[in-house]
Chain A
Amino acid sequence: MVKFAHLIPIFPFAAFVINIFFGRRLKKASALIAIAACTASLALSLWTFLGLLKGQGSYPLFDWLIFEDFTLHVGVTIDSLTCAMLLVVTSIGTLIQIYSIGYMSQDPRFSRFFAYLSLFMASMLGLLLADNFLILYMFWEGVGLCSYLLISFWFEKITAAKAGMKAFITTRIGDTGFLIGIFLLFVASRDLSFAGLSHINGNTGLYTAAALLIFCGAIGKSAQFPLHVWLPDAMEGPTPVSALIHAATMVAAGVYLVARCFGLFLTHQPALICVAYVGAITTVLAASIATVNNDIKRILAYSTISQLGFMMLGLGVGGYSAGTFHLMTHAFFKALLFLCAGSVIHSVHIQDIQKMGGIFNKMKVTGTTFIIAGLAISGVPPFSGFWSKDEILTEIFHSGHPALFVAAALTSLLTAFYMFRLIFLVLFGKPRSELHLHESPKTMTIPLIILAVFAIFAGFPGSPLMNNVFQSFIHLEAGHAAQESSPDYFIMGLSTLIALSGIALAYCLYIKQKKILPQAIRSRFAPLYQLLSNKYYFDELYDFLFIKPCGRIAKTLAGFDLGVIDGAVNKTAEIVVILSKIKAWIDTTIVDGAVNLTAKTVGLFSKELRKIQTGSVQAYLLFAFFGLVLMMLFKLIVK
Chain B
Amino acid sequence: MIPQSHFLIFSAALFAIGIFGVLTRKNAIGILMSIELILNAVNVNLITFNKFLGTPNGLGQIFALFVIAIAAASAVVGLALVIAIYRNAKSILVDKLNLMKW
Chain A residues in contact with chain B, CB under 8 A? 610, 613-618, 621-622, 625
Please give, as numbers and ranges, the residues of chain A lying within 8 Å of B94 by CB-CB distance: 616-618
B101 contacts A613, C-beta separation under 8 Å:
yes
| Residues of chain B from 19 to 64 with CB closer than 8 A to chain A in the complex | 19, 22-24, 31
Please give, as numbers and ranges, the residues of chain B lying within 8 Å of A616 by CB-CB distance: 94-95, 98, 101
Please give, as numbers and ranges, the residues of chain B lying within 8 Å of A622 by CB-CB distance: 23
Complex A-B: 22 CB contacts under 8 Å? A610-B102, A613-B101, A613-B102, A614-B98, A614-B101, A615-B99, A615-B100, A615-B102, A616-B94, A616-B95, A616-B98, A616-B101, A617-B94, A617-B97, A618-B22, A618-B23, A618-B24, A618-B31, A618-B95, A621-B22, A622-B23, A625-B19
| Residues of chain B from 65 to 102 with CB closer than 8 A to chain A in the complex | 94-95, 97-102
Please give, as numbers and ranges, the residues of chain A lying within 8 Å of B22 by CB-CB distance: 618, 621
* Residue ID in chain A nearest B97 by CB atoms: A617
Please give, as numbers and ranges, the residues of chain B lying within 8 Å of A625 by CB-CB distance: 19, 23
* Residue ID in chain B nearest A619 by CB atoms: B23
Q: How far is the CB of A312 from chain B (nearest CB, A)?
A: 101
**Within the assembled complex, what's the spacing in Å between the Cα atoms of A550 and B50?**
121
**Within the assembled complex, what's the spacing in Å between the Cα atoms of A218 and B19?**
117
Please give, as numbers and ranges, the residues of chain B lying within 8 Å of A615 by CB-CB distance: 98-102
Please give, as numbers and ranges, the residues of chain A lying within 8 Å of B23 by CB-CB distance: 618, 621-622, 625
Please give, as numbers and ranges, the residues of chain A lying within 8 Å of B95 by CB-CB distance: 616, 618
Q: A615-B100, A616-B95 are in contact. List 17 more A-B contacts (CB 8 A).
A: A610-B102, A613-B101, A613-B102, A614-B98, A615-B98, A615-B99, A615-B101, A615-B102, A617-B94, A617-B97, A618-B22, A618-B23, A618-B24, A618-B31, A618-B94, A618-B95, A625-B23
* Residue ID in chain A nearest B24 by CB atoms: A618
**Within the assembled complex, what's the spacing in Å between the Cα atoms of A614 and B99?**
10
Q: How far is the CB of A633 from chain B (nearest CB, A)?
A: 16
Q: How far is the CB of B90 from chain A (nearest CB, A)?
A: 18
**Within the assembled complex, what's the spacing in Å between the Cα atoms of A617 and B94?**
8
**Within the assembled complex, what's the spacing in Å between the Cα atoms of A618 and B95?**
8
**Within the assembled complex, what's the spacing in Å between the Cα atoms of A616 and B101?**
8
* Residue ID in chain B nearest A615 by CB atoms: B101
* Residue ID in chain B nearest A622 by CB atoms: B23
User: Which of A613, A615, A622, A625 has the largest number of chain B CB atoms within 10 A?
Assistant: A615
**Within the assembled complex, what's the spacing in Å between the Cα atoms of A575 and B26?**
72
Please give, as numbers and ranges, the residues of chain B lying within 8 Å of A618 by CB-CB distance: 22-24, 31, 94-95
Can you list the 3 inter-chain pairs with the closest CB atoms, starting with the nearest? Answer: A615-B101, A615-B98, A615-B100
Q: How far is the CB of B28 from chain A (nearest CB, A)?
A: 10
User: Which of A614, A616, A622, A625 has the largest number of chain B CB atoms within 10 A?
Assistant: A616
**Within the assembled complex, what's the spacing in Å between the Cα atoms of A618 and B99?**
14
Q: How far is the CB of B93 from chain A (nearest CB, A)?
A: 11
* Residue ID in chain A nearest B25 by CB atoms: A618
Please give, as numbers and ranges, the residues of chain B lying within 8 Å of A614 by CB-CB distance: 98, 101
**Within the assembled complex, what's the spacing in Å between the Cα atoms of A622 and B102?**
19
Please give, as numbers and ranges, the residues of chain B lying within 8 Å of A617 by CB-CB distance: 94, 97
Q: How far is the CB of A630 from chain B (nearest CB, A)?
A: 15
**Within the assembled complex, what's the spacing in Å between the Cα atoms of A603 and B99?**
23
**Within the assembled complex, what's the spacing in Å between the Cα atoms of A158 and B95?**
93
Q: How far is the CB of A196 from chain B (nearest CB, A)?
A: 94
**Within the assembled complex, what's the spacing in Å between the Cα atoms of A616 and B97?**
7
**Within the assembled complex, what's the spacing in Å between the Cα atoms of A613 and B98?**
10
**Within the assembled complex, what's the spacing in Å between the Cα atoms of A616 and B95?**
6
What sequence of 0s and 1s flags, for each residue 10-24 of chain B, a beta carbon within 8 Å of any chain A beta carbon? 000000000100111
* Residue ID in chain B nearest A614 by CB atoms: B101
* Residue ID in chain A nearest B98 by CB atoms: A615
Please give, as numbers and ranges, the residues of chain B lying within 8 Å of A613 by CB-CB distance: 101-102
Please give, as numbers and ranges, the residues of chain A lying within 8 Å of B98 by CB-CB distance: 614-616
**Within the assembled complex, what's the spacing in Å between the Cα atoms of A615 and B95?**
8
**Within the assembled complex, what's the spacing in Å between the Cα atoms of A618 and B94?**
8
**Within the assembled complex, what's the spacing in Å between the Cα atoms of A524 and B67?**
147
**Within the assembled complex, what's the spacing in Å between the Cα atoms of A614 and B22?**
17
**Within the assembled complex, what's the spacing in Å between the Cα atoms of A617 and B95?**
8
**Within the assembled complex, what's the spacing in Å between the Cα atoms of A616 and B100?**
8
Please give, as numbers and ranges, the residues of chain A lying within 8 Å of B102 by CB-CB distance: 610, 613, 615
**Within the assembled complex, what's the spacing in Å between the Cα atoms of A610 and B23?**
21
**Within the assembled complex, what's the spacing in Å between the Cα atoms of A616 and B25?**
12
Please give, as numbers and ranges, the residues of chain A lying within 8 Å of B100 by CB-CB distance: 615
**Within the assembled complex, what's the spacing in Å between the Cα atoms of A621 and B24?**
10
Please give, as numbers and ranges, the residues of chain B lying within 8 Å of A610 by CB-CB distance: 102
**Within the assembled complex, what's the spacing in Å between the Cα atoms of A613 and B97?**
14
Q: How far is the CB of B9 from chain A (nearest CB, A)?
A: 18
Please give, as numbers and ranges, the residues of chain B lying within 8 Å of A621 by CB-CB distance: 22-23
**Within the assembled complex, what's the spacing in Å between the Cα atoms of A616 and B99?**
9
Please give, as numbers and ranges, the residues of chain A lying within 8 Å of B24 by CB-CB distance: 618
Q: How far is the CB of A624 from chain B (nearest CB, A)?
A: 10
Q: How far is the CB of A628 from chain B (nearest CB, A)?
A: 10
**Within the assembled complex, what's the spacing in Å between the Cα atoms of A610 and B100?**
12
**Within the assembled complex, what's the spacing in Å between the Cα atoms of A142 and B81?**
94
**Within the assembled complex, what's the spacing in Å between the Cα atoms of A618 and B24?**
7
**Within the assembled complex, what's the spacing in Å between the Cα atoms of A613 and B94?**
15
Q: How far is the CB of A623 from chain B (nearest CB, A)?
A: 10
User: Which of A610, A614, A618, A622 has the largest number of chain B CB atoms within 10 A?
Assistant: A618
**Within the assembled complex, what's the spacing in Å between the Cα atoms of A614 and B31?**
19
**Within the assembled complex, what's the spacing in Å between the Cα atoms of A616 and B102?**
11
**Within the assembled complex, what's the spacing in Å between the Cα atoms of A263 and B99?**
106
**Within the assembled complex, what's the spacing in Å between the Cα atoms of A614 and B102?**
8
Q: How far is the CB of B92 from chain A (nearest CB, A)?
A: 13
* Residue ID in chain B nearest A624 by CB atoms: B23
Q: How far is the CB of A613 from chain B (nearest CB, A)?
A: 6
* Residue ID in chain A nearest B26 by CB atoms: A618
Q: How far is the CB of B35 from chain A (nearest CB, A)?
A: 11
Please give, as numbers and ranges, the residues of chain A lying within 8 Å of B101 by CB-CB distance: 613-616
**Within the assembled complex, what's the spacing in Å between the Cα atoms of A616 and B98?**
6
**Within the assembled complex, what's the spacing in Å between the Cα atoms of A615 and B97?**
8
Q: How far is the CB of A608 from chain B (nearest CB, A)?
A: 14
**Within the assembled complex, what's the spacing in Å between the Cα atoms of A625 and B24?**
13
**Within the assembled complex, what's the spacing in Å between the Cα atoms of A618 and B96?**
12
**Within the assembled complex, what's the spacing in Å between the Cα atoms of A622 and B31?**
13
Q: How far is the CB of A254 from chain B (nearest CB, A)?
A: 93
Q: How far is the CB of A602 from chain B (nearest CB, A)?
A: 15
**Within the assembled complex, what's the spacing in Å between the Cα atoms of A622 and B97?**
17
Please give, as numbers and ranges, the residues of chain A lying within 8 Å of B31 by CB-CB distance: 618
